[in-house]
Amino acid sequence: MIVHPPVHWFRLLFAWRGSILPAIFPRLMLVLSCALVVVIFHRFTQGFGLQLSVGAFSLIGLALAIFLGFRNSSSYERYWEARKLWGALLINARSLQRQAMSMTSLPADHAELHEFSQLLQAFAYALNHQLRCTDPRSDLYRLLPYPLAKELSVVRYIPSMVLVQLAQYLSVWYRTGKIDVILFQSMDANLNHLSDIQGGCERIMTTPIPYAYSVLIHRTIYMYCILLPLGLVDSCGVLTPLITVFIAYTFMALENIASSLELPFGFEPNDLALNAICRTIERSLLEMRGETTLPPACLPQKNYILD
């Protein structure tokens, strides 16, 4: 996630790092080359009927803008839903730890409460690794007792197994009278919310926007941008390349941004800062437990990217 301090509006016009321009710059150069060819050979081809009506491009451009708007809205909705799910994960983790610490009959420094808190932290990190397809063992061995970390490191869906471990604590506490039935139901509901969060993230991760829809928009944009100089050259003349590139930048950038936001759990600059969210969860739960030495907070790197 790009976390950039506010800059002057004029400097923002020339921002390169963190913008979508580096990704589409080669394609813009291709469009510029086509527009230059059209302008150069325009006077030699006037009698061959190769000019197109600018009105047709206006209608196509309007329809394309509507489709791109829908595509971007759909992609941002997925991005924002993913962020809300991870915000809910933080809330439910805090709620479970608060309930375990303040409403059970266990002393605040009891080993079971310590292990319960470790499992909540491990759930966040395990879900992060599952969504990003990375190796979770380093965080598991750091957060959990060695036998449990070794047991969990060989399963396929580690977050689900962490929830099983958390549920076992609730079951034991209920059977031994450390929590009453009302508290048991309340804490179990929070565990169900964690399971819903995991399922929601998996749904976003495994169900991208239909491929055929993406291909249709992609082809239409590039055909439109390549043919656009033929519709502008009569009215714009030598300014045709400049205007064509500006219009192409708008359409291509919107498509690229939509593709970037569609799957928000990766390592691209505009993806969610899952590592930072996990570190926030860890620090928050440790502080609630009374720890005074906390791991450092994740801060943006020199390129303003928070991973």
Q: Structural domain tally of the chain? A: 1
Rounded to whole angstroms, how far apart are CA atoms 127 and 167?
17
Predicted local confidence at residue 64, as pLDDT: 87
232 backbone dihedrals φ, ψ, rounded to 5°: -100, -20
Contact 121, 285 (CB under 8 A): yes
Predicted local confidence at residue 104, as pLDDT: 85
Contact 235, 79 (CB under 8 A): no
Contact 91, 280 (CB under 8 A): no
The amino acid occupying position 248 is: A
Residue 6 within any structural domain of the chain: no
Rounded to whole angstroms, how far apart are CA atoms 290 and 131?
31
Give the domain range for residue 178: 20-288
Q: Which residue has the tokens 């439910």?
A: 92
Ranges in the chain, pLDDT < 50: none
3-state DSSP call for residue 274? Answer: helix
Predicted local confidence at residue 88, as pLDDT: 97
Contact 213, 87 (CB under 8 A): no
3-state helix, strand, coil in the chain (%, to 5): 75, 0, 25
Residue 44 within any structural domain of the chain: yes
Predicted local confidence at residue 56, as pLDDT: 75
The amino acid occupying position 191 is: L
Rounded to whole angstroms, how far apart are CA atoms 226 and 252?
12
Residue 300 within any structural domain of the chain: no
Q: Which residues pair with 2 in a beta bridge?
A: 305
Residue 1 within any structural domain of the chain: no
Residue 270 within any structural domain of the chain: yes
DSSP string, 131-190: HHT---HHHHHHHS-HHHHHHHTTSS-HHHHHHHHHHHHHHHHHHTTSS-HHHHHHHHHH
Contact 186, 99 (CB under 8 A): yes
Contact 15, 193 (CB under 8 A): no
2 backbone dihedrals φ, ψ, rounded to 5°: -85, 120
Residue 200 within any structural domain of the chain: yes
Supply the Cα-derived Rg of the chain in whole angstroms.
27
Of 305, 303, 274, the closest CA to residue 124 belongs to 274
- CA 152 to chain centroid: 26
**Which pTM value belongs to this model?**
0.89
**Cα angle value 261/262/266 (rounded, 5°):** 70
DSSP string, 251-271: HHHHHHHHHHHHSTTSSSTTS
Of 219, 89, 101, the closest CA to residue 162 belongs to 89
Of 162, 223, 153, 236, the closest CA to residue 194 belongs to 162
Q: Which residues pair with 305 in a beta bridge?
A: 2
